[in-house]
Amino acid sequence: MIKKVILFLFLFLVIIFVSLIIESNKEQKEMIDKGRTPIVKEPSEVESLVQLVFELAEKGKSMDVPFIVGQTDVQNVHKLWGMPEDKSEVSTAIYEDYLSENVTIGHRSNIVFDIRSSSLAIQQIHLEDIERIKGEADEIRSYQDDKVNQTILIYEVSSKYQLKWILPKVTESEPNPAVDHVSVYMEVEEETPSISDMSLDEKIGQMIFAGIDGTSLTNESKELISTDKIGGIIFYKENLKNANQTISLLNAIKAENEKEKLPLFLGVDQEGGRISRLPGLDKTPTNQEIGKQDDPVLSYNIGALLGKEMNAFGFNLDFAPVLDVNSNPKNPIIGDRSFGENAEIVSKLGIQTMKGIQSGNVISVVKHFPGHGDTAVDSHLELPIIQKNIKELYALELIPFKDAIELGADVVMVAHILLPKIDAKFPSSMSHTIITGILREQLQFAGVVMTDDMTMNAILGHYEIGQAAVDAVKAGNDIVLIAHDYQKVKSAFDAIKQAVHNGEISEERINTSVSRILLLKEKYKLSNELVKELDLKDLNQTIEQTIGK
């Protein structure tokens, strides 16, 4: 009797074991058929997995990833997977990490061109498995930094796609390393024209940020776009009467620019508080009020809100935040636009607002370098003079700008201030000593530098606009802002062009600035996409939620 029971139990266990093996094999096969990653246990399974990786790569696909390299728009990634846990920029490409999926998505010009997978199954494949099954790679590269020392095996799996296997470097202790991740990759051609494709007129046009008249597209505005090829347009309250008119104006400008090589910077002073140009929106607190709360989270949220407002109307560049330290209580121009008189608080809160604006894919312009907070004169009316030396600037005014540059500022606006102890001849916006010497060389700013409006009396009361524009470029500005008067824009354009022809400014100098401008437009993926509708009620509800009303 006991023998029969034992025999029965043995047969029962055998049946269960065989069933588990059959079921496991069935599951593995189903996963492979669906492009899902099986858990690798046997050499034959490793071979099947390697073959599958190659087969998918030939079609621009990777395991467990429902996207196709070269065909998927990054917006589709966001719709399906949401926003990434982490994000980084390499040259003109953006890489988004989906840690829960073990996938990194690389995109350029909104098109996915690189899918990197580090699934657990892929990490069970070893160097010898790849070489045994697929032979020697078409190319072998190395990559090393302070964190990794890697070998990259590159296989040209089709005329379009590369499959890259990334593994730790072979060592004596580990001659057969496991795969870290794979990359399915294709080259995506840049849509942005190179400097060599541009005429001198086109390049100079990119270096001018102009204002326009009226609330609709005029012939002068059309000429600025189609003839002068200007790089950007600034809008003021007189251009923006209500929400529908504002959207119609921007859409008309974008439509007019459709045939041009490059999209336009479309900018406005949307600082929050009393300097808010966009119509129909509830007010946000002034920077001074935010500074009194000293809340970095609030500052970031306000910045993100400003970015959302800009996007909703179709703008892509915000002349904000103000990083001036309001150290002079008699200051007639900064006042409550500043986060306060403490440089550390201005730096901390201003940078968070900057990052909030950038988070909405809107360009943030930090201003007014090297600091407008200790002036007693409005530069719209006259040229302010500050009797400070460089040591004194570093002790106060330059602190927020230095910190912002280190933490990702894209554009710095230079004020019209005369600092006789640093440059007795030129105001800061036209000073080689201040722009190239301090901002570029000492603070190591590599982004775009632009002047404040050159039609302010601080400049026009002392200089002719054409020569002032030339001096501004010679000083190191990439963009000259001429916010009023079409003829002044033309005069500035003609003067810069003549300065190049007579050798006062080299074309290489022009190319340097235009390269920075093109990189910035590419980084933020500027386009001529029209705004279809605007929900003011939703925006105002967001404002109320953000400021805690």
SS3 for 252-320 is: HHHHHHCCCCCCCEEEECEEECCEECCCCCCCCCCHHHHHHHCCHHHHHHHHHHHHHHHHHHCCCEECC
Q: What is the pLDDT of residue 31?
A: 45
Strands, sheet with 411-414, edge to edge from the N-terminal-most edge strand = 448-451, 411-414, 363-369, 317-318, 265-268, 232-235, 208-211, 480-482
Q: Which stretch of DSSP H or E encloses residue 97?
A: strand 93-98
**DSSP three-state, residue 411:** strand
Q: Which stretch of DSSP H or E encloses residue 301?
A: helix 296-313
- Residue 20 one-letter amino acid: L
Q: Is there a contact between 528 and 254 (Cβ–Cβ < 8 Å)?
A: yes
- Residue 306 one-letter amino acid: L
Q: Classify the C-alpha dihedral 512-514-520-525 as positive or negative.
A: negative
Q: What is the pLDDT of residue 337?
A: 92
Q: Which stretch of DSSP H or E encloses residue 113?
A: strand 111-117
Q: Look up residue 517 and give its two tokens.
A: 């401008």
In the residue annotation, 452 being an active-site residue is answered as: yes
Distance, CA of 151 to CA of 53 (rounded, Å) = 18
Q: Is there a contact between 231 and 207 (Cβ–Cβ < 8 Å)?
A: yes
Q: What is the pLDDT of residue 358?
A: 95
Q: Look up residue 366 and give its two tokens.
A: 């930090």
Domains of the chain (ranges; CATH) run 41-185 (no CATH), 202-543 (3.20.20.300)
State how far Cα 429 lies from the chain centre: 25
The phi and psi torsions of 384 (rounded to 5 degrees) equal -70, 150
For tokens 């809160």, name the residue: 349
Q: Look up residue 272 and give its two tokens.
A: 């929050």
Q: Look up residue 205 and give its two tokens.
A: 């046009």
Q: Is there a contact between 271 and 284 (Cβ–Cβ < 8 Å)?
A: no
In the residue annotation, 228 being an active-site residue is answered as: no
Q: Classify the C-alpha dihedral 130-135-137-143 as positive or negative.
A: positive
Catalytic residue among 318, 324, 452, 471: 452
Residue 314 φ/ψ region, left for φ over 0, alpha for ψ in the -120 to 50 degree band, beta for the rest: left
For tokens 């109307």, name the residue: 313
The phi and psi torsions of 106 (rounded to 5 degrees) equal -100, 130
Q: Which of 145, 144, 136 is nearest to 165 (CA)?
A: 136
Distance, CA of 22 to CA of 126 (rounded, Å) = 26
> How many CA atoms does the CB half-sphere of 359 hold within 13 Å?
18
Q: Classify the C-alpha dihedral 42-48-51-52 as positive or negative.
A: negative
Per-residue pLDDT of the chain in tens (549 residues, 90 and over written 9) = 555 555 555 555 545 554 554 454 454 444 444 444 444 456 688 999 999 999 999 999 999 899 999 999 887 898 899 989 988 876 557 899 999 999 999 988 678 999 999 999 999 999 999 999 999 999 999 888 778 899 999 999 999 999 999 999 999 999 999 999 999 999 865 555 578 789 999 999 999 999 999 999 999 999 999 999 999 999 999 999 999 999 999 999 999 999 898 999 999 999 999 999 999 999 999 999 999 999 999 999 999 999 999 999 999 999 999 999 998 877 777 889 999 999 999 999 999 999 999 999 999 999 999 988 777 666 677 888 999 999 999 999 999 999 999 999 999 999 999 999 999 999 999 999 999 999 999 999 989 999 999 999 999 999 999 999 999 999 999 999 999 999 999 999 999 999 999 999 999 999 999 999 999 999 999 999 999 889 999 999 999 999 885
Q: What is the pLDDT of residue 147?
A: 85
Q: Which residues contact 67 (CB under 8 A, 6 or more apart)?
A: 61, 76, 77, 105, 112, 115
Q: Which residues contact 288 (CB under 8 A, 6 or more apart)?
A: 273, 326, 335, 336, 337, 338, 339, 340
Catalytic residue among 180, 378, 380, 484: 380
Q: Look up residue 152 and give its two tokens.
A: 């990259």
Residue by residue, DSSP assigns 28-73 as HHHHHHTT--PPP-SHHHHHHHHHHHHHHHHTT-BTTB---TTT-B
Q: Is there a contact between 411 and 267 (Cβ–Cβ < 8 Å)?
A: no
Q: Is there a contact between 151 and 169 (Cβ–Cβ < 8 Å)?
A: yes
For tokens 């302070």, name the residue: 146
Distance, CA of 86 to CA of 66 (rounded, Å) = 20
Per DSSP bridges, beta strands 265-268 and 232-235 are parallel
**DSSP three-state, residue 431:** coil
Q: Look up residue 186 and give its two tokens.
A: 């294709």
Distance, CA of 249 to CA of 483 (rounded, Å) = 17
